[in-house]
């Protein structure tokens, strides 16, 4: 029997990627979809690349009956829009994977500070699990509410986790430079993402106050057992999809390059979507495009005593929809790779 799935907020890039990937999932049937802007119309009106592959009329996002007959609902909504819906789904016994920010932060004070909203149901935060399978696999398997991580945090946390869990770096001087394709900014056009402004350009944005910062710091602090603050600077680059984070950290002991590679290889040996690269084979966004892989290369710079970690992923797949499906697989006792075990698109 197939898992009956619904997607709320299906019109965006993330919703479209969920549709594309779930259509090929051997254990899933997409039963419902909903949005504000396309309610009453076929989903292919906003996702014409899926014409002939799916026929589904969208519900209104405020429908009280959306969850009926479903086993799992994916929420691909702006922050503040998921909380009440998650409450309804949870009470109906429907599993929820929230691709937004409403359940990523465990502190209601942090949520209020960074998102300028009061959390309506803080008691549900204790019921939710941060959906990074490489770190929280066992908890995800038992959860009914999963907070799917952001794309920047996924690339960064996975890049640093082996070092933090082994207490190998100075926690007071972590610097992160990340670059994302334009789809990471969402489908709504802005001056910043308008073609004449973005083409042939590279820009930093939300320097020092990006909303993924508390999410990254929360998870790095949990991994290390010590409160961590970071310097995080995101950039937009003129390509459709892809993300590359370069992370700098001071070591507390010297490494050989082979020792560092072995540390990462051992840490992620049971993680099918992590590929460890090396100094002569540094990750590139092209090598993960369209896939659920995260490629990581740790490099020890003996001259400066720093480790430089290069981490790449597709922001719409491992950074969003693919990871959401990876989480769903774990929640329903399926093979972790089901429906998302395929190669990147190259060139």
| Nearest Cα residue to 98 out of 321, 340, 335 | 321
Task: Write out the catalytic residue numbers.
Answer: 151
pLDDT at 62: 83
pLDDT at 187: 86
Q: Is 67 exposed, middle or buried (0-12, 13-18, 19+ CB in 10 A)?
A: buried
Token pair for residue 326?
């990876």
The whole-model pTM stands at 0.97
* 3-class state of residue 124 by DSSP: helix
71 contact partners, CB below 8 Å, separation of at least 6 = 3, 4, 5, 94, 95, 332
pLDDT at 255: 84
Report how far Cα 201 is from the mean position of its chain's Cα atoms.
Answer: 25
pLDDT at 64: 86
Stretches where the chain sits below pLDDT 70 are: none
pLDDT at 192: 85
Beta strands in the chain (DSSP E): 3-8, 28-35, 59-60, 72-75, 95-98, 128-130, 145-147, 174-180, 203-204, 230-236, 243-250, 274-276, 294-301, 306-313
pLDDT at 90: 96
Q: What is the dihedral of CA 295, 78, 103, 71, to 10 degrees?
A: -90
251-254 own/partner pairs: CB under 8 Å, 24+ apart:
251/168, 251/169, 251/170, 251/300, 251/305, 251/306, 251/307, 252/167, 252/168, 252/169, 252/170, 253/168, 254/300, 254/302, 254/305
224, 49 contact by CB (below 8 A): no
Task: Please tell me the distance from the alpha carbon of residue 131 to that of residue 143, in angstroms, as a whole number.
Answer: 10
Q: Which domains does the chain have, with CATH numbers?
A: 3-148+318-331 (3.40.50.720), 152-315 (3.30.360.10)
Question: Quick one: CA dihedral 261, 170, 160, 237, positive or negative?
Answer: negative
Task: Please tell me the distance from the alpha carbon of residue 183 to that of residue 39, in angstroms, as a whole number.
Answer: 23
pLDDT at 190: 86
Q: How open is the CA angle 148-344-75, to the nearest 5 degrees?
A: 20
Give the CA radius of gyration of the chain: 20
pLDDT at 74: 98
Task: Please tell me the distance from the alpha carbon of residue 300 to that of residue 337, in angstroms, as a whole number.
Answer: 31
- pLDDT tens across 94-107, in order? 999 999 999 999 99
pLDDT at 94: 98
């Amino acid at each position: 029997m197939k898992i009956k799935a619904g997607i709320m907020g299906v019109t965006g890039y993330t919703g479209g990627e969920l549709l594309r990937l779930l259509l090929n999932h051997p254990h899933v049937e997409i039963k419902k979809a909903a949005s504000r802007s396309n309610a009453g119309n076929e989903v292919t009106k906003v996702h014409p690349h899926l014409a002939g592959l799916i026929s589904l009329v969208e519900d209104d996002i405020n429908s009280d009956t959306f969850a009926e007959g479903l086993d799992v609902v994916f929420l691909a909504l702006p922050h503040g829009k998921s909380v009440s819906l998650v409450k309804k789904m949870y009470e109906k016994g429907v599993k929820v994977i929230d691709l937004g920010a409403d359940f990523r932060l465990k502190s209601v004070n942090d949520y209020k500070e960074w998102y300028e909203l009061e959390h309506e149901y803080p008691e549900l935060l204790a019921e939710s699990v941060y959906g990074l399978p490489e770190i929280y696999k066992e908890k995800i398997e038992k959860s009914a509410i999963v907070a799917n991580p952001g794309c920047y945090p996924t690339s960064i946390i996975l890049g640093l986790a082996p070092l933090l869990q082994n207490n190998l770096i100075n926690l007071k001087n972590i610097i992160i430079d990340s670059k994302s394709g334009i789809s990471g900014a969402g489908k709504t056009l802005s001056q910043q993402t308008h073609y004449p402004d973005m083409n042939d350009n590279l820009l930093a944005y939300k320097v020092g106050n990006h909303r993924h910062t508390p999410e990254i710091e929360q998870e790095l602090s949990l991994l290390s057992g010590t409160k961590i603050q970071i310097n995080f600077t995101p950039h937009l680059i003129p390509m459709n999809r892809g993300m590359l984070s370069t992370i700098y950290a001071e070591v507390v002991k010297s490494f050989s390059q082979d020792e560092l590679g072995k540390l990462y290889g051992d840490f992620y040996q049971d993680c099918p979507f992590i590929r460890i690269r090396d100094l002569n084979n540094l990750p590139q966004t092209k090598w993960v495009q369209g896939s659920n892989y995260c490629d990581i290369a740790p490099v020890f710079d003996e001259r400066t005593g720093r480790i430089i970690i290069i981490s790449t992923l597709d922001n719409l797949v491992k950074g969003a929809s693919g990871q959401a499906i990876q989480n769903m697989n774990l929640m329903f006792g399926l093979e972790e790779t089901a429906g998302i075990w395929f190669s990147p698109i190259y060139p």
